[in-house]
Structure 1
Amino acid sequence: MAPDASPSSKSGLHPVFTVSNIQHKIHTDESYDSWSEVDAHVLQWIYGTLSDELLLRVLEDESAAREAWVRVENIFNNNKGARAAALEQEFNALHLEHLLSLEAYCQRLRELAGMLKDVDAPVTDRRLVIQLIRGLPKDYDTVASYIN
């Protein structure tokens, strides 16, 4: 018999067939209380990071952390298309004169590109450079031609 083989595998009966009610196994397991305590802490972390509006949409009695996380994930995934459209509009409309400096302008373009990637609408480097040039005022035509 292999070192990790059990007597039930020797006889051909898998241990799963010996359990008629999984609830008895879970609630009598010594580690259940420990798992339940850790899960409650993680659930509180999740709830503690949500806005009041979002918390009201996610909060449910007798919820495990994984279930709460999936509810949050579904809310964000359902909003992905609308969020991508709003970010695209802001990205395309951004111009240097909307910000205080060239550095701030470049940083905001990078931030928007990162946020677009997060909603599955990535911006290519080429498109980022094109938008950078498009948003520069006429005073920067010489610089734009070098970048281009």
Structure 2
Amino acid sequence: MATNGKKEDQMSSSDKPSKTLHPAYSVTNVQSMIRTLDGTKVTYTSWVKLFRLHVVAYQVLDHIDETPPPAETNPEFQSWKEPDALVLQWILSTISDNLLPRVIDNTTTTRHAWLKLENIYLRNKKARAGVLETKFCNQTLAACSSLDNYCEQLKDLAYQLEDVDHLVTEERLVLQLVRGLPAEFDTTASLINANDADWDLARSMLEDEVIRQEARQKTSQSVLVATTPQ
């Protein structure tokens, strides 16, 4: 009878449901989901949007929002502290090497790191906005290595302006795109304005024009070579 009792105890113990693992622990490569924040290619606003989507999906939004943590004397503190350290690792793993020393110093919680980044990017908004506005308005195709680079520079500056509460509308973005073009793009620029083109259409029209200009240049060079006396 005692043996049977022991078997029953073993069975009941094995039948007990195991503790459910928090969804956050299933993340193995956070960099594949959240791009590295560097302030230019990936702006603060873009990074925040990606990070918020990630923490909502893995049920840890309360670690970056204003939800207060449990007191250290609370029995739930330990179960809060471990995922908080994990989310803090996500932040530190998705910011640039230049930002890392500024954020990691004396940082103890995810919320602390979150507020540090917010302070870095959103303080002195007016002064930063003035500098970015000047760069945006003075950007030209001639100053860039290619049309793609020109478009990327304008987009990056628009995103950085959004970070400091200066939203660049698509209409204004297209206007600046056209304004910074050299004279050889005058015809295409007029067509963009006449068709009230959005960003994607305007960029596509310019890409087609670049292809036409390159083709004409190759044809002219071929003709020149053919007609040059040997």
Structure 1 pair 58–124 and aligned structure 2 pair: CA distance change class (3 A): same
Deviation at 1:97, TM superposition (A): 0.9
1:118 partner amino acid? D
Equivalent residues of 2:92, 2:100 under 8 A apart: no
Runs of 4+ in 1 over 6 A off after TM superposition: none
Where in structure 2 are the equivalents of 1:99-118 lying within 5 Å?
99-118=144-163
Describe the SS at the equivalent of 1:97.
coil
Percent sequence identity over matched residues? 44
2:170 partner amino acid? D
Structure 1 pair 39–121 and aligned structure 2 pair: CA distance change class (3 A): same
Where in structure 2 are the equivalents of 1:60-99 lying within 5 Å?
60=106, 63-99=108-144
Where does residue 184 of structure 2 map in the other structure?
139
1:88 partner amino acid? E
- The unaligned stretches of length 5 or more in structure 2 are 1-69, 194-230
Deviation at 1:50, TM superposition (A): 5.6
Deviation at 1:94, TM superposition (A): 0.8
Describe the SS at the equivalent of 2:142.
helix
Deviation per residue, 1:67-89 (Å, 9 max, x gap): 23223212221143333222211
The alignment's TM-score, normalised by the length of structure 2, stands at 0.45
The partner residue of 1:33 within 66, 78, 95 is 78
- The unaligned stretches of length 5 or more in structure 1 are 1-21
Structure 1 pair 56–36 and aligned structure 2 pair: CA distance change class (3 A): same
Deviation at 1:134, TM superposition (A): 1.3
Deviation per residue, 1:124-147 (Å, 9 max, x gap): 222222211211111111112212
Structure 2 CA distance for aligned equivalents of residues 103 and 57 of structure 1? 33
Structure 1 pair 66–139 and aligned structure 2 pair: CA distance change class (3 A): same
How many residues end up aligned between the 2 structures?
123
Equivalent residues of 1:59, 1:68 under 8 A apart: no
Deviation at 1:57, TM superposition (A): 6.1
Deviation at 1:43, TM superposition (A): 2.7
Where does residue 16 of structure 1 map in the other structure?
none
Describe the SS at the equivalent of 1:60.
coil
Where does residue 101 of structure 2 map in the other structure?
55
Deviation at 1:91, TM superposition (A): 0.9
Equivalent residues of 1:58, 1:71 under 8 A apart: no
The alignment's TM-score, normalised by the length of structure 1, stands at 0.66
Equivalent residues of 1:87, 1:112 under 8 A apart: yes
Structure 2 CA distance for aligned equivalents of residues 135 and 66 of structure 1? 42
